[in-house]
Amino acid sequence: MSARVAGELADLPTASISDALDKLGLRGSMHGLSPLRPGQRACGPAYTVAYEPVDDQGGTVGDFLDDVPAGSVVFIDNAGRTDCTVWGGIMTQVAAHKHVAGTVINGVCRDVAVTTTTDYRIWSVGRFMRTGKDRVRVRAVQEPLLVDGVTIRPGDVVCADEDGVVVVPAGRADEVASIATEVERVEAAIVATVRDGATLREARSAHGYHSLQTPDRTASDTGETA
Ligand SMILES: O=C([O-])CC(=O)C(=O)O
Ligand SMILES: [Mg+2]
């Protein structure tokens, strides 16, 4: 993936990227992860972290942050747990200081007031104040995660905005960016066509709105022979 493609994805809404993933038959739209505050966006290569529960003492939260490169999106899997955190205000301030692009948590964070007054972006299942220290520990860093049926590999492109989070496989970023760009172009054309006097039904039909995200059927998909 070139810097140009990464830049294109960074400029595209997650809605159009999600449509492109649908068209290519790829899973990558992450259900149930919401932005902590309105208006935030982030896009960058995934830095993956998996947590696991500990029975008693010895759990830790967040020491891996020293190793995260600037521009990455930290993608943390705490198995969707909402009863203890894996991110807090110290981590937010350190990540912002290191120019980390953002954090996605399949779990919860705390110290939300700090994050909302710091130039840093988090998407999560929710928020809760009880720490993960002595409750969870890091099981793996920079290994593939499987979250809600989506595989997130280190270096995959994570894009997130007000609609939520999408993950684009690094090797498919070029195709996804080009289809998502076309989705954007067609959607703008539909609105322009209505402003020129067409009905929504006419404009959508003229520009193929309903199948923008529909996978192209090949002979092998349909069982047809050429
Ligand atoms: O225990 C945690 O979730 C971490 C925390 O509060 C912080 O980084 O400030
Ligand atoms: Mg804290």
Three-state secondary structure of 58-124: CCCCCHHHHHCCCCCEEEEECCCCCCCECCCHHHHHHHHHCCCCEEEEEEEECCHHHHHCCCCCEEE
Q: What is the pLDDT of residue 223?
A: 40
User: Which residues have CB under 6 Å of ligand 1?
Assistant: 61-62, 85, 87-91, 110-111, 131-133
Distance from the alpha carbon of residue 37 to the mean position of ligand 1, in angstroms:
19
Q: What is the pLDDT of residue 24?
A: 97
- Residue nearest atom 5 of ligand 1, based on CA coordinates: 88
Q: Which atom of ligand 1 is found nearest the CA of 131?
A: 1
- Residue nearest atom 4 of ligand 1, based on CA coordinates: 88
Q: What is the pLDDT of residue 74?
A: 98
> What tokens appear for 107 in the block?
């779990």
pLDDT band at 4; cut points 50, 70, 90 = low
Q: What is the pLDDT of residue 226?
A: 30
Distance from the alpha carbon of residue 163 to the mean position of ligand 2, in angstroms:
27
Provide the H-helix boundaries in the chain: 3-11, 14-23, 89-97, 112-116, 173-195, 200-207, 219-222
pLDDT digits (tens, 9 = 90+) for 23-42: 999 999 999 999 999 999 99
Q: What is the pLDDT of residue 2?
A: 64
- Residue nearest atom 6 of ligand 1, based on CA coordinates: 88
Mind listing the domains of the chain with CATH numbers?
Answer: 1-26+169-219 (no CATH), 30-167 (3.50.30.40)
Task: Indicate whether 149 pLDDT > 70.
Answer: yes
- Residue nearest atom 7 of ligand 1, based on CA coordinates: 88
Q: Which atom of ligand 1 is found nearest the CA of 94?
A: 8
Distance from the alpha carbon of residue 57 to the mean position of ligand 2, in angstroms:
18
pLDDT digits (tens, 9 = 90+) for 44-97: 999 999 999 998 777 889 989 999 999 999 999 999 999 999 999 999 999 999
pLDDT digits (tens, 9 = 90+) for 156-197: 999 999 999 999 999 999 999 999 999 999 999 999 999 999
Q: What is the pLDDT of residue 224?
A: 40
Distance from the alpha carbon of residue 111 to the mean position of ligand 1, in angstroms:
7
> What's this model's pTM, rounded to 2 decimal places?
0.92
**Residue 2 exposed, middle or buried by CB count within 10 Å (0-12, 13-18, 19+):** exposed
Q: Which atom of ligand 1 is found nearest the CA of 84?
A: 3
